Structure 1
Amino acid sequence: MSNEDDPDRNRDRDAAGHADLTARLRTVEEAAERIGTTLDEQTTCAELSRILCRHLCDAAAVDLLDEEGTGARSRSPAALRRVATAGLVKVLEARLPDEDPERPDGGALPMRALAEGRPVTATATLPGGRSAGALSAPLRADGRRYGALLALRAGGSFTADETDTVHFLARLTAGRLAHARRYAAVQRTAMDLQRALLAEPGKPHPNLELATRYLPSGSSALVGGDWFETVRLHYGRTLLVMGDVMGHGLDAAVDMNAYRSHLRYVASTDLPPHRVLRQLDTAVAGDEARRPATCLLARVDPARGIAAFASAGHLPPAVFSREGVAGLVEVPVGPPLGTGAGGYELVTRTLTSEETLLMFTDGLVERRGEDIDVSLSRLARIRLPAGAGVTQVLDEVLLRLDGLHAEDDVAVLAARLRHHPGTGAAAPVEL
């Protein structure tokens, strides 16, 4: 009786094939769940290398092309960089065929896999002269190349089924990398949009020194609706604006631009700040799709040394004296814009050319789980170097309050009068 007719042998062969298929399916299921748990490329590649070592090899590495080298025409070996490894270090030290020790790309095998667009196998040499099976597969998705993986097995080669499984994991990972890069591109576009909107606030009158900063939150990839603006008014006055649209993302950025444009139009009528907020609130309240926003206005009149403030749900400004001592300006807080409730009040105070006015969004001072009064008192306790310039005041405040690591976006504006006696005609101030 031939081997083909042996029922026991056939049954054993079928059972082994079924077990192999089950193992491959489990590997694929685990990979689908555990590869790409974040949008970080290095983490994704580390997840791939760990899966490979857990099920298919003794050591694994992942090499990525630089982003500009992902196109089909990029062939430069120098573009590859190793971003993740797993498994036995000694096995990773295996020498691959035709490997150039001076090249930083992980050897010839990954470049062959990239060039041919398919898995390639070879026999590698371990330290001490032992052989190892080597398998490299390209990370390709949507017609683009992202890099290559390298799997090494001491003392044995890879079967056809194992090669197919590794190839599938490579394609799966490439798809995750493609998604991460698309997401990153969208976020860069959103950030560029917001920076473009904030980069060129209107020019204040020459009698006002101004410094501004916008810092996106380091804890979130989403853009917010923080913004600032300056509007030139008659008689040498300037309207300073600080606003914050509720929420994050492109919708908040679009709403921010709408608020900013509408405010410019209303402010051009030279109404006092509380009436500007009233008109803006009425206009926005009629648009149900528009998000609410907080807003603080300060109309600065250098000729008189006066600043007039009005607030729609926004945090109060601070004023730093020449000696660097901070004080919060008590501004009556009306409802956020978009509620239609109105009720905004005007408050004025003197402002000298030796004082620096600071306006900011809540990301500068707020801390999770902390009462806002405690947050504001932290700002009020800041002591800056005597005689600090406008830019230095702004930078020192951001440094002292750790604005670079804030939990929310931060927009901040610092202004100081340049008083020139005898210039500028006096004008009645409408309250």
Structure 2
Amino acid sequence: MARWILSRRGPEPFDGDGRADGRAEEAEEPGVRLGALREVLAGIGTTLDEAATCAELTRAAVRLAGGTAAVLRRTGTAVSGHEAASGYEAVAGDPGVLPDARWAAAVAREAAVAAAGKGPEPWSEHAAGTALYLPLVGGTDVSGALVWARDGRPPRRAEAELLALLAERAAAHIRDARAYDEVSRTAGDLQRALLAAPGRPHPNLDVALRYLPVGGNALVGGDWCETVRLHFGRTLLVVGDVMGHGLEAAVDMSAYRSSLRYIAASELPPHRVLRQLDEIASTEEDRRPATCLLARVDPGRHQVTLSSAGHLPPVLITAEGEAALLPVPVGPPLGTGLGGYESATHTLAPGQTLVLFTDGLVEHRGEDIDRSLARLAALRFPGGAGVDEVLETIVDRLQARRAEDDVAVLAARPHPRRDDAPAEE
């Protein structure tokens, strides 16, 4: 790793032997025990957060070598074609000892130019003392630099080697954090795109949706909601949960959703839709299992037909605001190839609200699921509340924004029109 001394004379290459351009100071052993070094290294990169890793790096640098440490992160490409840099971040120690941040950024440009064989560039003269510049290089990515400084003599060889080791460790974790952020953004974009374009229910059905990623994080998984418009004024409501989180789960969720739309268009009853979904998913080795609940709402007949693939039952809220779980026969999750799905039909009168949800809404670590479901069924709602108000009540009272898992929840309420005609199977 290239290292540079920043002094009042300007930037000078550091040769690793305690010398700056031939001016030597004998290296001294730092007296750091191997166990202490391991402990310090283990404290860098404890999270997939770039800012946290930078703070851990500077604290570790000061702990091992004293002085002051800070990170100068790259923020993009300037108009001139050079990498732009932010000001100092995660400063540990006395910031007055650090050289001017613009000068440190110039060292970064000189290192890049020297590597490209373009020759030297002019340097500013704003350094207040002597400092060590260590690029944060992870693979082919340069995320910035560790700048370490102290009053007086330049760093000794052993100190510089330790600081270089810390910078290498931090750079690898910063690269992983940025890759994680990129995957999170991709998965988030995919999920938001899918949730932003649900199917269009019939006008005889009021529908509201909520999706709450765990912790409000951008990283999302396989929770999803869907509505599919069928013939004769009927609408198929769907809530599903693909195992896992991240881009892979979101991709599998998209595949399940696409298959469901295609199968549902054939007007099959819910249990047969699940059977075909299971058959398709079980033939793909990499497809993750998923739970799924289907509810075919028929406002003309005041009915809802339910079928479940390993999913939790829905809740029915009466016009007076009382809630109760609706029984539904439960088959195995999708993707197992076991089949065995059944349907059950219940009354769904105008003014009643059906609520479908994923397990993140109710589950708590260490709590029996029956108790979790009972908490939801015990909720009471104001009479005449709209479907959006119903969902907000559920989310607030169950503290779903602080849930331990992603939450997807759908509420639907029928209001049949005169031109809705009942249909025979």
**TM-score band w.r.t. shorter chain:** 0.7 to 0.9
The 10-residue stretch of structure 1 (188-197 or 44-53) with the greater mean CA deviation from structure 2? 188-197
Tell me, which stretches of 5 or more residues in structure 2 are unaligned? 1-24, 113-122
Higher percent of residues as helix: 1
Shift of the alpha carbon at 1:28?
7.4
Instruction: Determine the structure 2 residue equivalent to 1:150.
Output: 147
Q: Report if aligned partners of 1:110, 1:149 keep a CA contact under 8 Å in 2.
A: no
After superposition, the Cα gap between the structure-2 partners of 1:142 and 1:280, relative to the gap in structure 1 and judged at 3 Å, is closer
Q: What is the aligned counterpart of 1:400 among 390, 397, 417?
A: 397
Shift of the alpha carbon at 1:415?
1.1
Q: 2: distance between equivalents of 1:285 and 1:144?
A: 40
The 10-residue stretch of structure 1 (400-409 or 331-340) with the greater mean CA deviation from structure 2? 331-340
1:73 equivalent to 2:81? Answer yes
Q: 2: distance between equivalents of 1:404 and 1:326?
A: 21
Instruction: Determine the structure 2 residue equivalent to 1:366.
Output: 363
1:59 equivalent to 2:68? Answer yes
Q: 1: distance between equivalents of 2:186 and 2:104?
A: 33
The aligned runs of 1:107-118 (5 Å cut-off) are: 107-117=101-111
Give the CA RMSD over aligned residues. 3.4
Shift of the alpha carbon at 1:389?
1.4
Q: 2: distance between equivalents of 1:55 and 1:321?
A: 66
Instruction: Determine the structure 2 residue equivalent to 1:424.
Output: 420
Q: 1: distance between equivalents of 2:157 and 2:95?
A: 22
Q: Which amino acid letter does the alignment assign opposite residue 423 of structure 1?
A: D
CA offsets 1:143-189 (integer angstroms, 9 cap, x no match): 65533433332454434664565455445433432221122112221
1:83 equivalent to 2:77? Answer no
Q: What is the aligned counterpart of 1:176 among 144, 152, 173?
A: 173
The sequence identity of aligned pairs, in percent, is 53
Q: 1: distance between equivalents of 2:374 and 2:401?
A: 20
After superposition, the Cα gap between the structure-2 partners of 1:74 and 1:355, relative to the gap in structure 1 and judged at 3 Å, is farther
After superposition, the Cα gap between the structure-2 partners of 1:347 and 1:29, relative to the gap in structure 1 and judged at 3 Å, is closer
After superposition, the Cα gap between the structure-2 partners of 1:293 and 1:182, relative to the gap in structure 1 and judged at 3 Å, is closer
Instruction: Determine the structure 1 residue equivalent to 2:45.
Output: 36
After superposition, the Cα gap between the structure-2 partners of 1:320 and 1:338, relative to the gap in structure 1 and judged at 3 Å, is same
After superposition, the Cα gap between the structure-2 partners of 1:141 and 1:248, relative to the gap in structure 1 and judged at 3 Å, is closer
After superposition, the Cα gap between the structure-2 partners of 1:18 and 1:111, relative to the gap in structure 1 and judged at 3 Å, is closer
Q: What is the aligned counterpart of 1:345 among 342, 351, 361?
A: 342
Q: Which amino acid letter does the alignment assign opposite residue 376 of structure 1?
A: L
The 10-residue stretch of structure 1 (401-410 or 371-380) with the greater mean CA deviation from structure 2? 401-410
SS where residue 267 of structure 2 aligns? coil
1:241 equivalent to 2:238? Answer yes
Q: Report if aligned partners of 2:239, 2:358 keep a CA contact under 8 Å in 1.
A: yes
Instruction: Determine the structure 2 residue equivalent to 1:291.
Output: 288
SS where residue 218 of structure 1 aligns? helix
1:218 equivalent to 2:215? Answer yes
Shift of the alpha carbon at 1:274?
2.1
Instruction: Determine the structure 2 residue equivalent to 1:10.
Output: none
Q: Report if aligned partners of 1:398, 1:404 keep a CA contact under 8 Å in 2.
A: yes
1:387 equivalent to 2:384? Answer yes
Shift of the alpha carbon at 1:404?
1.9
TM-score relative to the length of structure 1:
0.79
CA offsets 1:251-277 (integer angstroms, 9 cap, x no match): 333332232222222221212212222
Q: Report if aligned partners of 1:121, 1:136 keep a CA contact under 8 Å in 2.
A: no
Q: Report if aligned partners of 2:26, 2:156 keep a CA contact under 8 Å in 1.
A: no
Q: 1: distance between equivalents of 2:138 and 2:339?
A: 54
Q: Which amino acid letter does the alignment assign opposite residue 115 of structure 1?
A: R
Q: Report if aligned partners of 1:245, 1:291 keep a CA contact under 8 Å in 2.
A: yes
Shift of the alpha carbon at 1:245?
2.1
The 10-residue stretch of structure 1 (259-268 or 170-179) with the greater mean CA deviation from structure 2? 170-179
Shift of the alpha carbon at 1:201?
1.8
Q: Report if aligned partners of 1:230, 1:238 keep a CA contact under 8 Å in 2.
A: yes
Q: Report if aligned partners of 2:103, 2:124 keep a CA contact under 8 Å in 1.
A: yes
Q: 2: distance between equivalents of 1:352 and 1:360?
A: 20
After superposition, the Cα gap between the structure-2 partners of 1:385 and 1:29, relative to the gap in structure 1 and judged at 3 Å, is same
How many residue pairs match? The answer is 391
Instruction: Determine the structure 2 residue equivalent to 1:318.
Output: 315
After superposition, the Cα gap between the structure-2 partners of 1:170 and 1:228, relative to the gap in structure 1 and judged at 3 Å, is same
After superposition, the Cα gap between the structure-2 partners of 1:275 and 1:70, relative to the gap in structure 1 and judged at 3 Å, is farther
CA offsets 1:345-396 (integer angstroms, 9 cap, x no match): 3222222331221101111111111001110011112223332211221122
Instruction: Determine the structure 2 residue equivalent to 1:103.
Output: none
Q: Report if aligned partners of 2:356, 2:410 keep a CA contact under 8 Å in 1.
A: yes
